[in-house]
Amino acid sequence: MRRIEQLLNEYGESHKNKINIFIHAIAVPVIYFVTIALIGSIPTPEFIAFFDVTWAHIVSIPVLYYYFMLSGPIGAAMTLLTFVVFLLINLMESMGIEVWRASLAVFAVMWALQFIGHYIEGKRPSFLADLRFLLVGPAWWWVHWLRRMNIHY
């Protein structure tokens, strides 16, 4: 069994209840978005900021590398999602929204929803056993979409 399949199967063990799946289908990509937004809100040294690069840009490189190591299609899908996230962050900034404040509030609400989902499921979140599952969650979300498009991950 490929590593990605093993991780997705293990992650799926605590995501079988339809309500928990629905909550995760919304919360996982939103948490990915607001996490990048929060990381991007951390002030960068001038020599980095000069190039219009944030900590989010820097952190996204090894994160996307990890996804590509798991699976090419998932890596490509996560690259697309990351690109959309950066576009939305730029849009929020252009609208005068304080990205860090909005992201922090949404982050708290989405995590609360996920814990409610796991309470309903009756199983602990996977990341409590292995922090890698914080990154597997978005891959798990994409696999549902890739399957619908008949793309093998």
Q: What mean pLDDT comes out for the span 73-99?
A: 96
pLDDT above 90 as % of the chain: 73
Q: How far apart are CA 1 and CA 84, in angstroms?
A: 32
Q: What is the pTM of this model?
A: 0.89
Asked whether residue 41 is assigned to any structural domain, the reply reads yes
* Half-sphere exposure for 56 (CA within 13 Å, toward CB): 22
- Written as one letter, the residue type at 89 is I
Q: What mean pLDDT comes out for the span 109-128?
A: 94
Across 27-36, 57-66, 109-118, 127-136, least confident range: 127-136
Residue 131: predicted pLDDT: 87
Q: How many domains does the chain have?
A: 1
Asked whether residue 153 is assigned to any structural domain, the reply reads no
Asked whether residue 76 is assigned to any structural domain, the reply reads yes
Q: How far apart are CA 29 and CA 110, in angstroms?
A: 10
Beta-carbon contacts of residue 57 (< 8 Å; ≥ 6 apart):
40, 86
Residue 1: predicted pLDDT: 67
Asked whether residue 26 is assigned to any structural domain, the reply reads yes
Q: How far apart are CA 51 and CA 29, in angstroms?
A: 27
Asked whether residue 18 is assigned to any structural domain, the reply reads yes
Rounded mean pLDDT of the chain? 93
Q: What mean pLDDT comes out for the span 116-136?
A: 91
Asked whether residue 143 is assigned to any structural domain, the reply reads yes
pLDDT (tens digit per residue) in 16-67: 999 999 999 999 999 999 999 999 999 999 888 778 899 999 999 999 999 9
The residue segments making up the domain with residue 67 are 3-148
